[in-house]
Amino acid sequence: MNRLVVVSNRVPLPSQGARAGGLAVALDGLMEKRGGLWFGWSGRIAPGQTPLSGVETEGEVDYATIDLTQEEHDRYYNNFSNGVLWPLLHTMPELMKFDRRDAKVYREVNARMAASLQPLLRPTDVIWIHDYHLMPMAAYLRDRGVKNPIGFFLHIPFAAPDVLGAAPEVAALVRDLLAADLLGFQTDNDVANFAAAAQSLVGATKLANQGLQCGGRRVKLGVFPVEIEAQGFALMAARNAYTAGGERLRRSLEGQKLILGVDRLDPTKGLMQRLAGLECFFDKHPEWRRKATMVQIAAESRKDVGSYQALRAALDSAAGSLNADFGEPEWQPLRMVSRAVDRAAVAGYMRLAAIGLVTPLRDGMNLVAKEYVAAQEPDDPGVLVLSRFAGAARQLDAALLVNPHDPDAMADAIDTALRMDIAERRARWRSLWDAISDRTPALWGRSFLASLMRATLPASKPAKPEPVVVSSPPKLTLVEPVAQVGGRRG
Ligand code: ADQ
């Protein structure tokens, strides 16, 4: 088997412990099973540039990293990746702060990473680059003569071409992406947006079977929705709902229904709109006061970016007002936690929750929605209320789908979910479980890599006419979801 080289902005070094974040969650599972080299930023700031800051090995995975200088961290990571590309690609250009100097350093860091990675590569390696931090990386590797198969996967949405036009650098980044052999996206909408951008911004032409041609290069596009380890997550939830921490949460609810939100604190996750929906719910449906409580875990992330600091302040203020307006001396409608909570504990809380409230304004996929489904007791499942603008809504269409911008719709969906009878809850949950239970991050990775290998076959030896779009990966032998361990829903 060819060695897999994964390249991502942040490398989850074993010596540094776990963090909240979808990319690490998705790739950890794949790398654990397959092994290989994981290359990227160490998470450390150094006074000067060095080609490599260290190599660690755990199990079958080698981790090779570079450090960033303070200026690189500010301009490449905070300002351009998270301050321009993240809001732009999520169709929130009003949050973007563009500065040419940031775009320049973004490119320099990508070029430096390509220079550091190249000497570590073997001729038979397969390279898989991840996410918006590294959009020009494939082009820099090609400039250095790297001929290996290169795949790129975008974990976040790809915006429509007229939105992209807001950032002057983006057309060049679209062109650079075409240096890869396969470009993977979360949904067919993202593929369509990228294909339209490549045609209108850099003059690419469309080929049959999800391909593009530009300047003599051919690249394939494909849809590869990121998956979770549903069976393992179900087990973790069952074990953790009844630990001391889970019991404390349950006791503190005193029989009330739990509405749970779990997110990174991020403008795309729709947290302000969620609180508006919750406020509307307690206003329109006062019969639920003292009978339901929302717990929102919103782990702070990207604290150096201005819009994230502003969001934290706005959220604290909105949460305070909501509790002051609706709270009673003995009851508080909302409990807010701004720290990352241990993944196992979160799984247990999800199992206790009557509603998983997942309402991003836009999201590439959203793994929390899938985790909430996996965490449920099959006999007495909770209800997923999901934004129709999350990529996950394509697969999880048996959830109650809502428009996160409409507080009344959210309030009514919460009410409907809390009143839903057991037969409908079970039927909806079964359909959601069927959508996620036979897929894993390892299968997701395998199907991407198989498509990458097919995309690099010489034109004279055409691959079997297999579609690149992955809608139903091979079936696994299913174990039944974990059965009820004890009664729990308030
Ligand atoms: P994220 O934007 O980070 O991921 P998401 O897909 O929800 O979002 O993944 C977050 C992961 O971190 C989940 O496993 C979740 O359990 C965990 N997590 C989130 N908040 C947490 C908290 N407060 N405490 C503890 N754990 C928390 C990006 C894209 C997504 C895409 C993923 C994977 O933005 O659209 O689904 O990558 O491709």
How does pLDDT run across 154-182, given as a tens digit for each residue? 999 999 999 998 888 899 999 999 999 99
Active-site pick, 131, 176, 266, 363? 363
Separation CA 6–CA 129 (nearest Å) = 6
Q: Residue 460 has what pLDDT?
A: 52
Q: Residue 20 has what pLDDT?
A: 47
Which amino acid, residue 15? S
Q: Is the pLDDT of residue 465 over 70?
A: no
Beta strand pairing call for 257-265 and 355-358 = parallel
H/E stretch holding 445: helix 441-455
**Mean of the pLDDT values across residues 65-76?**
97
Q: Residue 458 has what pLDDT?
A: 76
Distance 445 CA to ligand 1 centre (A): 18
Separation CA 113–CA 178 (nearest Å) = 18
**Mean of the pLDDT values across residues 38-53?**
93
Protein residue closest via CA to atom 28 of ligand 1: 22
* Choice among 3-7, 250-254, 338-342, 431-435 with the minimum mean pLDDT: 338-342
Pocket of ligand 1 (CB under 6 A): 20-23, 25-26, 155-156, 226, 262-264, 297, 299, 340-341, 343, 346, 363-368, 371
**Mean of the pLDDT values across residues 332-360?**
95
Distance 20 CA to ligand 1 centre (A): 6
Atom of ligand 1 nearest to the CA of 369: 7
Of the chain, the percentage scoring pLDDT greater than 90 comes to 80
**Mean of the pLDDT values across residues 334-345?**
92
Q: Which residues contact 132 (CB under 8 A, 6 or more apart)?
A: 81, 85, 86, 89, 154, 155, 156
Protein residue closest via CA to atom 4 of ligand 1: 22
Is the distance from CB of 394 to CB of 187 less than 8 angstroms? yes
Q: Considering only the top CATH level, what class is 4-223?
A: alpha beta
Place of tokens 């654990």: 32
Q: Assess whether the region 4-223 and the region 230-436 belong to the same CATH fold.
A: yes
Taking CA atoms, 67 is separated from 10, 260, 320, in Å, by: 10, 37, 40
Q: Is the pLDDT of residue 80 over 90?
A: yes
**DSSP structural state of residue 75:** I
Q: Is the pLDDT of residue 473 over 50?
A: no
Active-site residue, 190 included: no
Q: Is the pLDDT of residue 9 over 50?
A: yes
pTM score, two decimals? 0.92
Distance 26 CA to ligand 1 centre (A): 9
**Per-domain residue ranges of the chain:** 4-223, 230-436
- Cα 431 to its chain centre, rounded Å, is 22
SS3 11: coil
Which tokens belong to 314? 């706005």
Q: Is the pLDDT of residue 482 over 50?
A: no
Q: Which residues contact 451 (CB under 8 A, 6 or more apart)?
A: 151, 182, 184, 220, 222, 224, 468, 470
Average pLDDT of every residue of the chain: 91
Protein residue closest via CA to atom 8 of ligand 1: 22
Q: Is the pLDDT of residue 142 over 80?
A: yes
Q: Is the pLDDT of residue 377 over 90?
A: yes
Pocket test for ligand 1, best of 264, 341, 342 (most atoms within 8 A of CB): 264
Q: Residue 18 has what pLDDT?
A: 58
* Choice among 18-27, 314-323, 326-335 with the minimum mean pLDDT: 18-27
Which amino acid, residue 383? V
Active-site residue, 90 included: no
Q: Is the pLDDT of residue 11 over 70?
A: yes
Atom of ligand 1 nearest to the CA of 358: 7
Instruction: Please give the CATH architecture assigned to the domain spanning 230-436.
Output: 3-Layer(aba) Sandwich (3.40)
Q: Tell me the per-residue pLDDT of 173-227, one tens digit each, with 9 for 90 and over.
A: 999 999 999 999 999 999 999 999 999 999 999 998 889 999 889 999 999 999 9
Q: Is the pLDDT of residue 22 over 90?
A: no
